[in-house]
Amino acid sequence: MTETSKVTTAPARPKFLRKGEQTRAAILDVALELASRDGLEGLTIGLLAEKMKMSKSGVFAHFGSREDLQIEVVRLYHNRFEQDVFYPSIKEPRGLPRLEGMFARWIKQVTVEIALGCIYISGAVEYDDRPGAIRDHLVAMVQAWRDALERCIKQAMEAGHLRTDIEVSQMVYEMYGLILALHHDARFLHIPGSVERAEASFRRLIDSYRPQGSDSASTSTPKNSKSAARKAA
């Protein structure tokens, strides 16, 4: 996930794919669905071939190995995360509006994944102590998202929306904690209102990092001040 002044939209996807590319893309779509449900380790060539109504050799023709397939699934998930969460968010004004947009879309992504599962979260459980190429790809992609959050927080500090003495890594940690708690309570415990709790917690987190004298109602202060002035008059 990178951001420059010239690149603020998602890269264009090719409009036309050759037959082999179409088949490969279809295989990856099904593989991502299976991996989201059963985990990357639950993704097997046999199960995928059965779902695709193909032979195992036909599936293998598009991927060199099961590990290659798993890595491609991680890449596909990451690309879709960028399309749905990152790229729309960087169209927001720099600073707090962009950070709030990122978190709002992140929560929306989690709500979609409550029924399916999150590759980043399940992958962290599966590969936290298993070195190798799959873990390396997962770590790199999660770190890319964390780096994007850090940049956004720093921009909010530079814009005066957040205090300048913030420990950026601490704030990212707290944001990640809210998402993990949401995923746990909504997906595992099925607790109603988990999304609303995550949103309320994020608002309190933002308020705790605002500059002194600022509050969550700062954007509506001029309107409120005019109303108070009219009443006083």
Give domain limits for the chain: 65-207
pLDDT for 231 equals 37
pLDDT for 114 equals 85
How many CB atoms within 10 Å of residue 225? 10
- Say how far apart CA 85 and CA 152 lie, in whole Å: 13
pLDDT for 232 equals 32
- Say how far apart CA 228 and CA 145 lie, in whole Å: 43
Return per-residue pLDDT of the chain as tens, 233 residues.
764 434 344 555 555 557 778 899 999 999 999 999 899 999 988 899 999 999 988 888 888 889 999 999 999 999 999 999 999 999 999 999 999 999 999 999 999 888 888 899 999 999 999 999 999 999 999 999 999 999 999 999 999 999 999 999 999 999 999 999 999 999 999 999 999 999 999 999 999 999 987 655 443 333 333 333 333 33
Query: For the whole model, what pTM was predicted?
Result: 0.81
pLDDT for 199 equals 97
Counting Cα atoms < 13 Å in the Cβ hemisphere of 67 gives: 8
Long-range contacts formed by 181-184: CB under 8 A, 24+ apart? 182/107, 182/110, 183/110, 183/113, 183/114, 183/118, 183/121
How far out from the chain centre does Cα 143 lie?
Answer: 11
Residue type, 75: R
The fourth-level CATH superfamily of domain 65-207 is Tetracycline Repressor, domain 2 (1.10.357.10)
3-state secondary structure of 170: helix
pLDDT for 17 equals 57
Tokens 């002044």 — which residue? 5
Counting Cα atoms < 13 Å in the Cβ hemisphere of 174 gives: 16
pLDDT for 79 equals 96
